[in-house]
Structure 1
Amino acid sequence: MVKVTLAQEAAIGAEEPVEEFAARAAAFLEANLPPRTARATFVWGEGEDTGVKLWEEPDSDEERTRMADSRAWRRKRFDAGFGWIDGPVDQGGAGLTKEHLRTYRRLEAQYQTPSDTYFKLDKILSPVIRKYGQEAIADSIPRALYRGELMACELFSEPDAGSDLFSARAKAVPTDGGWLLNGQKVWTSDAHLADIGVVFCRTSSVPGKEAFSAFLLDMKQPGVTVVPLRQMTGGAAFNEVYLDDAFVPDANLLGKVGQGWEVTREILALERAGIGAGLNRSGSGLANGTRLTALVKAMHAQDEPLIRQELIKTISAFWAAKQLTTRGSDKVGASAYKSDPTPLISKLALSNNLRRASDLVGKVLGPKATADNGEWGTYSWNSLLLGEPGVHIFAGTDEIVRNSIAEKVLGLPRD
């Protein structure tokens, strides 16, 4: 396979004007998708009473159907040249610019597309695999992720370690042609559906970050057991994963032995970068205050000064987080930072904002949130109240994120 340099990719991308690309993309979308209908204005008491769900907890039949639809669309989109617009030409990408990508996303948002929920790690893992993966996987895995041929998960947290990855106990021991992995991972999204997983394991007993390595693991092989993790919400959006002599070939080592923390840190940074504005794009009406305001009015709490104050604070906090994630960190102060604070602050802002929203809902509803008495718009908020604590765990606990801001952004000494 002939490698295309970054300069050549940029030249290829510059050959097609954005206007011509937009016309071609619009024709493709119009021929393959129905247009998106206008979202109905939220009216209290009308429609399905679903509340605000933070975690995807579909049943297995629904998951299989959604995944099949998503895979089919991703393949059609990729084969038409729109699946990896800014990707390298030699791996199936279009070699176009970020502006082309933004243009396509704006156009696609106007159509009804299958859910991309199960393939959300393509943009997060692909650049890391391209950077650290050996040639065989660096050339093939990113393409397969973008085309929907593979679905991935992340195996980082452990029962006795949580977000303190330096306390991880899962081990990788050298064997003929590769490594044998043993241990337990937890809070793993989509592990029961994933084809591959990035796993963080201890490869040495020496203290410090050099004791860990990262691998690409075949999730369907013997020695990998996935068990649903039941939550307070009643659903199972996460899994536990048990590794019992699970084999990883040498070719699936990411980076060098002892470079696992560097690999994992880059993955987490990419993951956090898009978290803060997640609910702003969900249409749930939580971040923009529509549903919260309607709840306060329906419960006749709009004249209570403290409730009104908390409502305004919550809506303002979501708005501020949206500005952060859409505009990035302050360019004036950025030069004083050791690294870009946006991903870390975005994640922490989401945690704080959802806690504030959950607290407000609990105060307004009181006992109506604890039992289903059939009243519209009351018990349905239970999924938010019970699901919100999990937000403070994923992509790094709030405490770990605060430490990272202090040490990596502000340059403060380690605690």
Structure 2
Amino acid sequence: MATQPQIEPHGGDEAFREEVRQFLAENFPPELKGKGNALASVEGPADESPAQESWRKAVGERGWGTPTWPREYGGGGLSRKQAAILNEEMAKVGAFNPIGGMGVMMFGPTLLEYGSEEQKHEHIPPICRGEIRWCQGYSEPNAGSDLANLQTMAEDKGDHYLVNGQKTWTSGGQWADKCFCLVRTDRSDKHKGISFLLIDMDAPGVEVRPIQMISGMSPFCETFFTDVKVPKDNLVGKEGEGWTIGKRLLQHERTNLSGGGSMARLMGASLAEIAKKYVETESDGQIADKVLRDRIADFEIRWGAFLLTARRATEESKAGGVSEISSVLKKLGTKLGQERAELMIEIMGLQGLGWEGEGFSEAELSGVRAWLFGKATTIYGGSTEIQNNIIAKRVLGMLDHQ
């Protein structure tokens, strides 16, 4: 990945902290306090209010939505310490990062490492400004866990590729502007025949069909490519390097799907705080049910320890890039997320079983849907079984014995 400039604005970290505070006071709309990032929503983009647009543009102009990315491509160019200060000060005022989505989480970091200078200057700045949505064209009906079995074909036609095939589980495909896609450019070799191609979602021949989930949402699609013309300039790396590039992108995805990334932000209030709204408490404010209290404490301790481990592993990996440790984080973080959702439903009792209608708060209905949606986290981004294989072979050094 390109070297990230380390800057010390106006005299050091404390001066930078004051700069952040002043920026937030001048630019963060009070009515957005406590709200989330619409760009990263699994339910698709909501209509952007004037306040949301203003906040997104203010953050994007400084590159602070992607704080450690190089300034030359629109990032903030901050050190990791300064990025932490930025997060701390935003949290204090209830602000959120309005820049996000797959461009930030997966594609951008990968392009910074493997893309040409022309591709970086074309694609990274719009991501940093939150002006574009990307989707991922990886899985196919017969290429899920065995992703290298993908058959979507990109045929060389001289100055362009002609793409035909089908992808599935394309998250956000119906709202995306562009797709980073694994395609086959050579049928003679399973892995070396794969290339990494960028496809415009509004190009003739691209069709998306949303898939409805058990949670009631339709965050992903089937995507069909029929004689789609893709310029040769949209090839990232060289032909046949797609498997290498695609695996690195998956490492970024798994880190963000674990507690080391977006899941930590999705957890919200502690289980103890939630429980006190639904169960009996003692005079000192403690949960009266000692068994439940013990279960909550046990989970919070394990979750806190995991977050610290994830943070340490993420920091250590930055020196040499994201590594296979992302599989450990993904495996453990998603399992803990499911465990939390189950316990929260149990705490809410009958109020945790609502689907629609009166008698349930918005938070309760969202909790039920989040519980159901969370069942997919141990499958997408590489199933737990796939992560176990990666951990055994590449982390623990275990080899198959005949």
After TM superposition, the score normalised by the length of structure 1 is 0.78
Check the 8 A contact 2:182/2:194 in 1, yes or no: yes
Query: How far did 1:202 drift?
Result: 1.6
For 2:126 and 2:213, locate their aligned partners in 1 and report how far apart those are by CA, in whole Å.
32
Once structures 1 and 2 are overlaid, which stretch shifts more, 168-177 or 269-278? 269-278
Query: Is the 2:160–2:232 Cα contact (8 Å) retained in structure 1?
Result: yes
TM-superposed deviation, 1:360? 4.4
2:335 aligned with 1:352, yes or no? yes
| One-letter amino acid of the counterpart of residue 396, structure 1 | G
Question: CA offsets, 1:147-185, max 9 Å, x none?
Answer: 122221111112222232112121111113121111111
2:48 match: secondary structure:
helix
- CA displacement 1:178-218 (0-9 Å, x = unmatched): 21111111222222221111101122112432121111111
Which residues of 2 match residues 188-337 of structure 1 at below 5 A? 188-277=170-259, 278-282=262-266, 284-285=268-269, 288-291=271-274, 311=296, 313-328=298-313
> Mind listing any 5+ residue stretches in structure 2 that lack a counterpart?
35-39, 282-286
Q: Which residue of 1 aligns with 2:43?
A: 57
Are the aligned partners of 2:197 and 2:234 in contact in 1 as well (CA < 8 Å)? yes
| 2:15 counterpart (2, 17, 20) | 20
Partner of 2:369: 383
| Residue 35 of structure 1: how far off its partner (Å) | 5.1
Q: 1:372 offset after TM fit, Å?
A: 6.5
Instruction: Establish whether residue 86 from structure 1 lines up as the match of residue 68 from structure 2.
Output: yes
1:406 aligns with 2:388: no
Relative to structure 1, is the Cα distance of residues 14 and 342 closer, same or farther in structure 2, using a 3 angstrom cutoff? farther
Q: Which residue of 2 aligns with 1:31?
A: 26
Counterparts in 2 of 1:279 and 1:127: CA distance versus 1, 3 Å: closer
Going from structure 1 to structure 2, the CA distance change for 1:14 and 1:412 (only over 3 Å counts) comes to farther
Query: What residue number does 1:369 align with?
Result: 353
Within 2, Cα distance between the matches of 1:371 and 1:88? 45
Query: Is residue 2:145 matched to residue 1:163?
Result: yes
Bigger RCO (CA 8 Å, 6+ sep): 1
Letter in 2 for 1:264: G
- Asked whether the 8 Å contact 2:208–2:221 carries over to 1, the reply is yes
**Which amino acid is the alignment partner of residue 88 of structure 1?**
P
Query: Are the structure 2 counterparts of residues 262 and 293 from structure 1 closer, same or farther at C-alpha, using a change threshold of 3 Å?
Result: farther
Question: Between the two proteins, what is the percent identity of the paired residues?
Answer: 24
Question: Any unmatched runs of 5+ in structure 1?
Answer: 40-53
1:128 counterpart = 2:110: yes
Correspondence list, 1:2-21, <5 A = 6=3, 9-10=5-6, 17-21=12-16
* 2-structure distance, mates of 1:373, 1:72: 35
Residue number in structure 2 paired with 1:145: 127
Deviation at 1:78, TM superposition (A): 3.1
Q: How far is 1:105 from its partner?
A: 2.4
Q: Report the Cα offset of residue 304 of structure 1.
A: 9.0
- Distance in 1 of aligned mates of 2:94 and 2:159: 46
Distance 1:95 1:363 in 2: 45
Rounded to whole Å, the distance in 2 between the matches of 1:370 and 1:92 is 44
Query: Which residue of 1 is the match for residue 284 of structure 2?
Result: none
Per the alignment, residue 343 of structure 1 pairs with 326
In the TM superposition, what is the alpha-carbon distance from 1:65 to its structure 2 partner?
2.4
Give the whole-Å Cα distance in 1 for the aligned partners of 2:47 and 2:192.
40
Distance 1:69 1:170 in 2: 42
Separation in 1 of the partners of 2:373 and 2:184? 31
Q: Which residue of 1 aligns with 2:379?
A: 393
Aligned-residue offset at 1:344: 1.4
- Please identify, of 86-95 and 384-393, the stretch whose mean Cα deviation from structure 2 is larger: 86-95
* Partner secondary structure for residue 153 of structure 1: strand
Instruction: Find the aligned partners of 1:13 and 1:405 in 2 and give their Cα distance.
Output: 38
- 1:47 paired residue number: none
Partner of 1:49: none
CA RMSD of aligned residues (A): 3.7
How many residue pairs match? The answer is: 381
CA distance in structure 1 between the aligned counterparts of 2:133 and 2:356, rounded to whole angstroms: 37
- SS of the equivalent of 1:347 reads helix
**What is the CA-CA distance between 1:321 and the residue it aligns to?**
2.2
Question: Is contact 1:74-1:146 (8 Å) kept?
Answer: no
- Note closer, same or farther for the CA distance 1:85–1:374 as it changes in structure 2 (3 Å cut): closer
Greater displacement, 391-400 / 339-348? 339-348
Match of 2:160? 178
Letter in 2 for 1:413: L
Letter in structure 2 aligned against 1:354: G
State the Cα deviation string for residues 93-133 of structure 1 (Å, max 9, x = none).
45442222222222233345566375353253223212222
Aligned amino acid, residue 256 of structure 1: K
Deviation per CA, 1:35-71: give whole Å up to 9, x if none: 58987xxxxxxxxxxxxxx97336xxx62326x8655
Q: 1:321 and 1:186 mapped to 2: Cα distance?
A: 32
**How far apart in 2 are the matches of 1:308 and 1:240?**
44
Distance in 1, matches of 2:175 and 2:93, equals 27
Corresponding letter in the other structure for 1:321: F
Distance 1:297 1:372, change over 3 A: farther
Quickly say closer, same or farther: Cα 1:304–1:95, change in 2 above 3 A: closer
